Homo-oligomer: A and B are copies of this chain.
Amino acid sequence: MILTVTLNAALDVTWSVDSLRPRTSHRVDTAHERAGGKGVNVARVLDALGHDVVATGLVGGATGHRILDELRAARIRSEFFEVAGESRRTVAVVSRDDGDATVFNGRGPFVTTAEWQLFHRHYAAMVTDAQVVVLSGSSPPGLPPDAYAQLLRTASAAGARTVLDTSGSGLLHALEARPDVVKPNADEIAAATGHPDLPRAAAALTALGARAVVASAGPDGLYAVTPEGTWRAAPPERLAGNPTGAGDACVAALAAGQEAGSAWPDVLRTAVALSAAAVPCPVAGEVSTAVYRRLLPGVRVEALPGGASASPRPTL
């Protein structure tokens, strides 16, 4: 079983307006509402691909109940822990005139220390059944800065492999717990390490504890530094559409690869094709299996000289 963890689950809401005009009033149609947060989206992709997956994390309040209702309706197995605060909404305001989206992300509920400790216990019980644990997204207010490090240690102690997709100081704090795979995107890895150069930044993350770093460079594909070697993997073509779900689809492929124990070049090929297969879909958590199958044979995976150990010593 693959367990996905979403500490700051959200109700993703899409509002349709004629045209977004700052400083005016808009009549809004709610196009759709669904459970969101990166870990939830990863669970959707894994579920669609036939994997045994459970989504956990923190939800709260009336918005939390809507999140759970929607997951039930979508038949995603979930075991969330309820907190007293109110789960956040993320609202995408989409203009009918040009299709452009303007996004508003809430911060999420304040989580007390007692709630965090109870969640950790709930999580520890689930981790014993998991071969892979995926930890995705931002943390809600109130959590300790090493929240992900704590969860990673519990997973590793239970024998599960771990995949981490977060950013900023949350990413840096987590590395001391030696995640098996971290998946920042190009902006996140540069912001977290201070290195705009992908190879240097990835080397910095491995030096801080990441066993493997898979950095996504948007339509250019992936750059991976692993114990088996260093690779670039690129899709055979660039697709137009909505890139927001591509990172979560990539994480789903990395988790599936960890579960199967696949070789890294195969994992990266799958991850690139699955990321690209999310781009034509309007919402995160969906992939086009037709696009996935069409692109997979054409993904180019290129071994690069020098593993993580041959990279220049990072200075953070």
Residues of A within 8 A of B (CB): 15, 17, 20-30, 62-63, 65-66, 91, 93, 95, 100-107
Cβ-defined contact, A29 with B93, below 8 A: no
Interface residue from B26, B95, B104 paired with A26 (Cβ < 8 Å): B104
Contact B62 A105 (CB under 8 A): no
Which chain B residue lies CB-closest to A93? B104
Q: How far is the CA of A20 from the CA of B21 in the complex (A)?
A: 10
- Is the CB–CB distance between A22 and B102 below 8 Å? yes
Q: List 27 A-B contacts (CB under 8 A).
A: A15-B104, A17-B104, A20-B102, A21-B102, A22-B22, A22-B95, A22-B100, A22-B102, A23-B100, A23-B102, A24-B102, A25-B104, A25-B105, A26-B102, A26-B105, A27-B105, A27-B107, A28-B104, A28-B105, A28-B106, A30-B106, A62-B62, A62-B63, A62-B65, A62-B66, A91-B91, A93-B104
The SS class assigned to the A binding surface is strand
Complex contacts, A20 vs chain B, CB 8 Å? 22, 102
For A24, list chain B residues within 8 Å (CB).
Answer: 102-103
